[in-house]
Amino acid sequence: ETGVTQSPTHLIKTRGQQVTLRCSSQSGHNTVSWYQQALGQGPQFIFQYYREEENGRGNFPPRFSGLQFPNYSSELNVNALELDDSALYLCASSLGVGASYNEQFFGPGTRLTVL
Amino acid sequence: AQSVTQLDSQVPVFEEAPVELRCNYSSSVSVYLFWYVQYPNQGLQLLLKYLSGSTLVKGINGFEAEFNKSQTSFHLRKPSVHISDTAEYFCAAYAGGTSYGKLTFGQGTILTVHP
């Protein structure tokens, strides 16, 4: 069974640029959630995708957007990067939505640095 | 709004000593609770979860937690720690209903086990 994978592992961008982060969900999982973890903080929920549709969004501006593909892999796109976007971005997959399915399996994360 | 508070940002302890990491939550609806561990430069690994039933939950690596509804707490305990338990620990809550897949995390507790 393959776990959640994310690419790239590290990324350096400059302010104003755009970035795309990728996530492959665990086998059999149809739900992907994205989190932002700033240094010294707990993860903050960005949004969730369930069967290719956005299924909930946290308090992040529209320049954070996402996609989920038919194979349930996912992308997180961030436009007009700001210095405060520097963080570890975590992807998590789960079997579905709802409490019984809400054991989320996390990938290793992508470390984004904005200069 | 749901919130999770971890009462200690850092907990130093000697090897083979017991440890308790404290977590309080606030929620107006039924809540489901989780503890995750994060080793340096890695993603999050689930230690244990409370969805319903027995209030004492046992997890991996000898950890356990007790759900206390009256005190809105979900403290994590281990009777005897090892050097390898050194990591950051996160308490998280899922409120169900319209919260979709949103896990709300605490700020984290850094557990340092000294020889």
Q: Tell me: the pLDDT tens digits for B91-115?
A: 999 876 655 668 899 999 999 999 9
A103 touches chain B (CB under 8 A): yes
Residue B84, pLDDT > 80, answer yes
With CB atoms and an 8 Å threshold, state whether A4 touches B108: no
With CB atoms and an 8 Å threshold, state whether A43 touches B105: yes
- CA-nearest of B81, B77, B46 to B63 is B77
What are the pLDDT digits (tens) for A8-27? 999 999 999 999 999 999 98
